């Protein structure tokens, strides 16, 4: 009778030890997952910070470019005004200094428009990735 109780007690002990070993291994697995998750969170937080800084810099550049474009477009002549001069064919033959300034302003305006389009493309493509 005592022998039966000893066998039962030993079996219960082995079962408890086995369960305890399983719980320990599950604890180690959970701790590893938690550690990886914390590391991944720190990396993603750093990446978000870098992207926000980059976004801010791109927005500032865009704002400056838009301000410059608005400044130029306020005084930019229309194409018709430049074309109606008619005397501008070669060099400055017959063109007045005012005509040349008009052409320079139109040229500057289109250069800035081109730069804005390129900047917008960069912003759009960088936000997609």
d(CA 105, CA 14): 91
The residues, any chain, with a CB within 8 Å of residue 62's CB and separated by 6 or more, are 116, 119, 120, 123
Q: Domain segments of the chain: what residues?
A: 2-128
Query: What pLDDT does 3 receive?
Result: 85
* CA dist., res. 64 & res. 68, Å (int): 6
| Pair of tokens at residue 77 | 């002549």
Cβ neighbours of residue 2 closer than 8 Å, sequence gap 6 or more: none
Low-confidence ranges of the chain (pLDDT < 70): 72-95, 127-129
The pLDDT of residue 38: 94
């Amino acid at each position: 009778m005592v022998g039966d109780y000893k066998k039962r007690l030993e079996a219960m002990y082995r079962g408890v030890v086995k369960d305890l070993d399983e719980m320990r291994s599950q604890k180690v697995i959970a701790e590893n997952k938690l550690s990886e998750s914390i590391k991944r969170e720190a990396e993603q937080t750093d990446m978000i910070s870098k992207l926000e800084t980059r976004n801010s810099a791109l927005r500032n550049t865009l704002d400056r470019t838009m301000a410059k474009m608005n400044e130029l477009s306020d005084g930019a002549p229309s194409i018709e005004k430049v074309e109606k001069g008619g005397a501008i064919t070669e060099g400055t033959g017959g063109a007045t200094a005012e005509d040349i300034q008009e052409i320079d302003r139109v040229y500057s305006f289109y250069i800035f428009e081109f730069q804005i389009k390129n900047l917008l493309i960069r912003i759009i493509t960088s936000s997609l990735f």
